Each structure stands twice: as C-alpha cells, then as structure tokens.
Amino acid sequence: MNALCDYCHNASWHIRLFLTNKTDTMHKKHQVVIIGGGNAGISVAAQLLRKNNTIDIAIIEPSDKHYYQPAWTMVGGGFYDIRDTIKPESAVMPEGVNWIKASVVSFQPEQNAITLNSGTQINYEFLVVAPGIQLNWKEIKGLEENLGKNGVCSNYSFSTAPYTFECLKNAKKGRAIFTSPHTPVKCGGAPQKIMYIAADYFKKNALSKNIQVEFWSGGTKLFGVKKFEDALKKVIAKFHIKENYYNKLVEIDGANKRAKFVGFGEQNMDLETWVDYEMIHVTPPQSAPDFVKNSPLANAAGWVDVDKHSLQHVKYANIFSLGDASSLPTGKTGAAIRKQAPVLVQNLLSLMQGATTKASYNGYSSCPLITGYGKLILAEFDYDNIPQETFPFNQAKERWSMFILKRYILPYLYWTKILKGKM
C-alpha cells in the first residue's frame, strides 16, 4: 500500500470511528452490549458479526490501547520487545461495532441497563460482561512506591515488565524471590514462568552458586494437574529452587530490600517472616473489578455468576460472561477465552432467535509454561484437571518446538486470527 492509500485508509477509518462515536451519543440502546474491549470482548464481537453482520453491537471500553499481555513474561526475560505487545484499541475494534469509550460504574439488570462514569444510562437486549481482572497492587504495603526500583519488578504491568530483565542482569548474589498470591490470577503459570527463565539466566551466566531462587506462593501446590506438576517438579529440582507455600506477601521494604510474608494454614498460621532479597518479582493479588464485585451480577466471591457450561448468568437469562471476570472455575487464560467465545456466541445467537442454549464449554484451558530459554511445557486441561493435549506427543516434556509456538506463532494468531473472530 502506497503512502496515498495509507492516508486514505487511515482517514476513512478515523472518519468511521468519529461517526460511530457520534452515533453512540445519540442512541442509548443497543441489541448487544459488551463490557470490555480486551481479548474476550473483541473476540465475541468479531465472531457475532461474522455470523450476522446486522447485529447492533456496542463495546464499552475506556482504554485507547490494546495489549498482548501473554508476551510480557517474555519481555521480562529479555527476548521480546515491549513495543510489539501494544496496538491502538481502534486497530482491533471490529468494523461495524459502536465503541463507547467510557467505564461502567453500575448494573441495573432488572431494567436491562448499565450506568457509565459519565452518568449516561445504556440499555441492552443482551449483555456480555468481559472487563477482565483487577490488579490489586495496594493490598501489599509498600509495593506501589517500590515497583520498578529497589529490585522490585512485575511482568503484570506494561510499564514495569522491562524492569524485570534489568533486575536479572543486575543480580549478582543473594535471593531472587518470585511470588504468587492467594487469589486467582490471570495466567496462573505466569508467576512460575519468569522464575524458570530467571533460574536459566543465572545458570547460563554462571551465577547459580551465588543466587538462590525461591518461590513464595499463596497457593497450596505447584500446579493443579498432576502430569504437568510432576514435570515442573523436575524443573524445580534442576534449578535447585526452594518452594514455600501457604504464604502471602503483605509488605515490601524497598529501602532495605526485604519482603514480609504471613503464613496461613495449619502449619504456619499467622507466622510472619521477613526475607532479604536481591530482586523480587511480584504477582499482585487479583479480583474481579470493583464495579462487578459490588453488583447484583456477582457471586459471593465477586465474580460474574454464570453457569460453567453455557456461560449464561444463573439469574439473568439475557446476560453472559466469559474470561477473567467470570466465575468459570478454570484457568484465567487467553486459551480458555478462545474456547469460551464460540460457546457464548452460539448460545447468545440461539437466545436471540428464541431457541434454547445448547453449546457447552468443558473448562478447557492452556498454560504454555516456559521453563527456560528455548524450552516450554504446554499444559492443556479441562474442568476436571484432565490433560487435553492438542499434539500427538507428550506435552509434559520440555520442547523447543513449543517454545517457538509461544514466541512466534501465538502472537501472530492473536492479532490476525483470534481478534478477527476467525478462530
């Protein structure tokens, strides 16, 4: 495409967006309203429109940027450019969708309405709730003020993921601590992936004898699927990583480079432990967004309360949810969303046509566990933690081919296929 064509294409795109947004201010009711312009929301909208391009769809999304977050672990490991993980939200918004650039503050499901931060009320015939997960940095004392300095890093933030690699390069001796909270997190394997990458980095740079890698987890075990946990235990042993479970990170003392953990469970209930560190990678506690937690749509734990197979709300039949904010008892991963979206779309279309919902989600999730540079274990499983392997070989074995899948193929598929509603 030449420069003139580029200009014309971009101009027409911006004109369309302007007209769309102008229309949004005039029409306050839509056939389908989707909350969230991340992986889940965009995928559902794109798939709906591929099935029926006459559906009136509005997406409520306040951000003007869209991130490919699965790559941030690789950014932290020093082998992915952070700039390749971001695109304008306008570039992924499906053509024909009404983009409402705002935030939701409350739900009125009895009136089929939601209220925006502007005070505007939006009505819907059908609602899809997919706002993603909330990172609760403030729950850990001292974390926000130390994040990005004093050896405190996190791949869960676009702005701080590059600092993780700086911490790896600067570490010479002492403890390298990697935490996982007591809450569900997006990509439950991410807290471990960077730990294995770091351990491999230290080994390749002859630092293993000087740096002790430690895993401090609020969970009860390394991984929920035995086949893959057994494989990861071998990785843990290979790198001589120390494991600590039933522990919550509660405070960071950046000036003195120490972290405070509080134990729970029978063995170490309320036991307080201060640990010195050279670097600490923090995975923050996470939850559904506040406007979801405090809404009539939430279950007791704060997640959108949906049937785990149909993805339909247990009380409000015209409301669906998928992705990280939903109550679905499976891994909060992009791979799970890829299997959830077609089920939701089929059931939503059936409901729109007055038919019953028949499509069923089996809880499939996947976690590409990077276990070092050029090595990956591809964990795939369902609700019952039974392996659901795609390839005709043992996926619990570390493989270079699966690393290539993670590094090159999955990002390509995300931008060109998944967000386009093609898979």
How far apart are the C-alpha atoms of 114 and 318, rounded to whole Å?
13
Burial of 319-337, coded b for 16+ CB within 10 Å and e otherwise, reads bbbbbbbbbbebbbbbbbb
List of residues 6+ apart from 110 with CB closer than 8 A: none
Whether 167 sits among the annotated catalytic residues: the reply is no
How far apart are the C-alpha atoms of 254 and 142, rounded to whole Å?
7
How far apart are the C-alpha atoms of 237 and 335, rounded to whole Å?
28
Consecutive H or E run containing 348: helix 334-352
Measure Cα distances from 131 to 110, 124, 291, 345, 390 in Å: 20, 17, 10, 17, 29
DSSP string over 40-104: HHHHHHHHHHHH-TT--EEEE---SEEE-GGGHHHHHTTSS-GGGGEEEHHHHSPTT-EEE---E
Catalytic residue among 5, 8, 167, 367: 367
Whether 5 sits among the annotated catalytic residues: the reply is no
Catalytic residue among 8, 153, 167, 187: 187
Q: Taking a C-beta distance cutoff of 8 angstroms, is the pair 225, 380 a contact?
A: no
Measure Cα distances from 98 to 35, 103, 140, 227 in Å: 12, 14, 38, 45
Catalytic (active-site) positions: 187, 367
